[in-house]
Amino acid sequence: MSADATAVREQRLRAQGLALPTDRTPTEAVRRLAAVQSQEPGHAFWSLALRSRATTEAEVRAAYDAGEFLRTHVLRPTWHFVAAEDVRWMLATTAARVHQTNGSMLRKRGLGTAELDRGARVLADALAAGVVLARPEVVTVLADAGLPHAQLDVVLLVMHAELEQVVVSGPMRGATHTYALLDDRVPHGPADGADPTRLLRRYLAGHGPASAHDFARWSSLTLTATRTALDELHDELPASRSRGRRTTPSRRGPTPATSRPCCSCRSSTSCRWATGTWRTRPLPATRTRRTWTCGRAASSPATRTSAPGAARSRAGRSRSRSTWRRGCRTTCAPGRTRRRPGSPGSWGVTSVFGDATARDPLRSSP
């Protein structure tokens, strides 16, 4: 059958928990998405609040500190939040691919199998008996053991220990992340083995409709492994075609026609911001800056500070501009703007409301 682009966008919004209000907890939001990229923890906590009933950073961090969901390197060489019960089997499924991706960097840094395995043993000994260490303390432990302790070397050594299911995130100390033994935080279970089909099923539930290429890019698994998993799910997930690409719908099924738009522009299906992700756009040769607000673009010429040839040269280097503007989540007024997390003000968010009585669901409690 033919997949309508509008229906695909609508289903993806609903699958990611962004189109309608929800009663999910932050942990349930993580579980729904299978994994949430979190190399910027403040951004990631904020994205979980968008997808759950949490209204403050403290609510999201309480679940994280309790070990309901954890932060580790999985899927790709970057941090992700993963529900505690999913950590082991996801690592078993994708660790080999992440190791392969890290191979060239490890060779450049002169870190071989002996150094990586020794680093994992040193960390396991240092974290024994329930000890939790912050990053500076981990650096000291590695240095005392005679292992490389430059910043990138520490990242690679700790990532290897995470991929080998030795260490994982511990509870935060203020704004500082810590490390703990995975065995202390997550017990072994009967279904901890590698399972690409299970990972694909979970991905489609939280991100679908999607193509085989979408899943392969997200999971780092090969297209061969992806197609094998798709074959195993053939009877569960009917396929469709959208612009020549084979897509697999979310298991939630089609979106009801009565669903409400997600924002005041009444355009939930085309909202450029609704996925909660950064949108960067190349700066064209005309040097026109484009700002997206709920699917509506407003262009304004950028100030030219050099000769036209130089401007075109810089534009050719794929320079880009990013804005973070949105009017979604709950009933919102035109003109509502949220600035980038980490900016001055309340937790990662500064809001400007057209309606002074509106409540920002992400503003921390006083």
Q: What is the pLDDT of residues 102-139, one digit of tens each?
A: 999 999 999 999 999 999 999 999 999 999 999 999 99
- Structure tokens that stand for 39 in this block: 């190399």
pLDDT-based confidence at 268, cuts 50/70/90? very low
Q: How is residue 43 written in tokens?
A: 């951004």
* pLDDT per residue as tens digits for the range 218-250: 999 999 999 999 999 988 876 555 444 555 655
* pLDDT in the model for residue 7: 85
Query: CA 228 to CA 104: how far, in whole Å?
Result: 28
173: CB partners within 8 A, 6+ apart: 134
Q: Are strands 167-173 and 176-181 parallel, antiparallel or unpaired?
A: antiparallel
Question: Distance (Å, rounded) from C-alpha 274 to C-alpha 329?
Answer: 9
Residue 298 has pLDDT above 70, yes or no: no
pLDDT at 248: 61
Percent of the chain at pLDDT exceeding 90 = 55
Task: Read off the pTM.
Answer: 0.68
Confidence of residue 178 (pLDDT cuts 50, 70, 90): very high
Segment 179-208, tens digit of pLDDT: 999 999 999 999 999 999 999 999 999 998
| Burial degree of 82 (CB within 10 A; 0-12, 13-18, 19+) | buried
pLDDT at 336: 39
Identify the band that residue 20 occupies on the pLDDT scale cut at 50, 70 and 90. Answer: confident
Confidence (pLDDT) at 236: 83
Q: Burial level of 307, CB count in 10 A (0-12/13-18/19+)?
A: exposed
Token pair recorded at residue 161: 């220990």
pLDDT in tens, 311-360: 444 444 433 333 333 333 333 334 433 434 443 333 333 222 223 223 33
pLDDT band at 4 (very low <50, low <70, confident <90, very high): confident
Nearest Cα to 268, choosing from 306, 294, 230?
294
pLDDT at residue 278 in the model: 33
Q: Are 42 and 324 in contact (CB under 8 A)?
A: no
User: What is the spatial distance between Cα 152 and Cα 114, in angstroms, rounded to a whole number?
Assistant: 17
Instruction: Compute how many other C-beta atoms are within 10 angstroms of the C-beta atom of residue 182.
Output: 25
| Rounded-to-integer distance, Cα 114 and Cα 95, Å | 18
Q: What percent of the chain has pLDDT over 70?
A: 64
Of 69, 278, 24, 305, give the one whose Cα is nearest residue 186. Answer: 69
Name residue, tokens 């700066």: 283
For position 128, what pLDDT does the model report? 96
Select the more confidently predicted residue: 284 or 165. Answer: 165
